[in-house]
Structure 1
């Protein structure tokens, strides 16, 4: 294993095994300090975040408003890591009390008749939201990006399964789509992140007015199973994680195959993306997207 991978692996081990021993306020201060250091060093992720936010806010990347929003977003992102490290140690009461679910009746009604598909952007704390959903709805199935080094991926996998989530690696395992489809058909909630084409098999859609390759998995699942598709977006309101559930995404449920299936998936995904835009514009400081989304907005280290 490379030295950098060993350092990352060790850092995550400390996070999950030692952070909970510290007073809560100190844990948050440590991660807030990490965010400040990253901002001062202007690491690649910070610069990419500024580029992404500049498109959301229709401002220049070096404008004061983008820089200030990126600063808040980076501190929010480090809060995500802090709370994700603490998540395995939280009691059930802590897990539930730290969440405010808005319009949850939309999805509860749909789940009374079978499985449901939910898609969301990388905002707030999606791991906390997933753990809450697993407890509230009785199930939560998803796929996970295969992080490197492998030890980090395994630690995330252990944390998520320990909080009641059923996880399938996004790559390297095979049968991912069948796993998700079967879980929907068995009456479970399947949740998928939908604002970045991690698997590199998405389709082109307009996102904040510019073309980006975005995942169509949630739309395809809804089309193939005939089950409802919903969107939501977690965001922080003070010490509370708010999960804002939207109305069901409406589309023609007539079964289709081949090119018609892909065309419909692209159309349904366009509706999803439109909702993501609204959520992200309302809370840009909670959008933790430090990776390239648009092909024309990529940090150049040359």
Structure 2
């Protein structure tokens, strides 16, 4: 059954990239909204987890408000997928006009410095579109990291998709990604990493919307080791076909402290920048997985109806391919 499930998953993504990209844009948008509304009405685990996460972001929200947010969140999530399936067919002009980042001077000035630049993003909006805009509008290639997915053919599809948008994609496993990223940065290159969820033992504990979670140490450690500039980026949608975004000012490396202490301070600053963007546009934060440590700890997690407790997520998340 596992092999059959893998083939079905791979086939579903293959169908998306082969079929959705051929649809007129308004038709693809309507299809995305329809799928999102159907998923929202089913109230599956992903929708329930999305609502639970939004309750942290908007703590005074009523149940009705949380339901509105989760419906909007699912529509935003499916907009991400419809855009991603269609991106390989977009013209260069459509890519250039499809994203309107604010304070982009923070990025262009950082690139001009020659020090290397790390862009760190949360699961907001469409980071693939933002990446395509960088390679197309700014004509700047960059390197990112993708988690190895199962089946292997699905991982290969995601790599081919992102490479087709002008990205260099490194596998997360194998222990070589950090060294390659460091070399790219020392050469004055650009690295982009989705960085709002790291449930491994190496993650840095931060306070996020008033509670503890872990985020990757990689962006801060790379900045320390290479002298590269670390810039948070937040993204969001409005009612237009154009995605919005903001490039935040660089996060400085502290002058004192151990390597780990500096990484902790910098990762907390990154979490704070992410929180501002998520608080302003919670419906565009596509976090359908457990995030906060309280939800992951079997002793602290809420009980299920049968009295058992969830120790954490085991589902694969192909969307987080640049973590």
| Structure 1 runs not aligned, ≥5 long | none
Deviations 1:270-296 (A, max 9, x none): 111111111100000110111111122
Matches within 5 A, 1:208-227: 208-227=209-228
- For 1:70, the equivalent position in structure 2 comes to 70
C-alpha distance in structure 1 between counterparts of 2:281 and 2:31, whole Å? 24
SS state at 2:236 partner: strand
| Structure 2 runs not aligned, ≥5 long | 297-301, 307-323
C-alpha distance in structure 1 between counterparts of 2:232 and 2:139, whole Å? 16
- For 1:88, the equivalent position in structure 2 comes to 88
Aligned residues: 296
C-alpha distance in structure 2 between counterparts of 1:240 and 1:142, whole Å? 24
- For 1:284, the equivalent position in structure 2 comes to 282
Contact in 2 for aligned 1:127/1:160 (Cα 8 Å): yes
Q: Are 1:170 and 2:172 an aligned pair?
A: yes
C-alpha distance in structure 2 between counterparts of 1:36 and 1:214, whole Å? 31
Deviations 1:198-227 (A, max 9, x none): 555212111111111111110111111112
> 19-28 vs 111-120, which deviates more?
19-28
C-alpha distance in structure 2 between counterparts of 1:128 and 1:221, whole Å? 24
Deviation at 1:253, TM superposition (A): 5.3
Distance 1:200 1:235, change over 3 A: farther
Contact in 2 for aligned 1:223/1:253 (Cα 8 Å): no
Distance 1:293 1:141, change over 3 A: same
Matches within 5 A, 1:1-302: 2-59=3-60, 63-114=63-114, 115-135=116-136, 136-171=138-173, 173-197=174-198, 200-237=201-238, 238-252=240-254, 260-297=258-295, 300=304
> 146-155 vs 86-95, which deviates more?
146-155
Contact in 1 for aligned 2:204/2:214 (Cα 8 Å): yes
SS state at 1:2 partner: helix
Deviation at 1:247, TM superposition (A): 1.0
Deviation at 1:94, TM superposition (A): 0.8
SS state at 2:169 partner: strand
Deviation at 1:131, TM superposition (A): 1.4
Q: Stretches of 4+ moved more than 6 A in 1?
A: none
C-alpha distance in structure 2 between counterparts of 1:224 and 1:132, whole Å? 28
> 115-124 vs 140-149, which deviates more?
140-149
Deviations 1:174-217 (A, max 9, x none): 30110111111111111111110055521211111111111111
The normalised TM-score by structure 2 is 0.87
C-alpha distance in structure 2 between counterparts of 1:194 and 1:117, whole Å? 11
SS state at 2:212 partner: strand
C-alpha distance in structure 2 between counterparts of 1:86 and 1:249, whole Å? 34
C-alpha distance in structure 1 between counterparts of 2:58 and 2:290, whole Å? 16
Deviation at 1:45, TM superposition (A): 1.0
Distance 1:113 1:168, change over 3 A: same
The normalised TM-score by structure 1 is 0.93
Deviation at 1:137, TM superposition (A): 4.8
Contact in 2 for aligned 1:122/1:195 (Cα 8 Å): yes
- What RMSD, in angstroms, separates the aligned Cα atoms of the two structures? 1.8
Contact in 1 for aligned 2:223/2:253 (Cα 8 Å): no
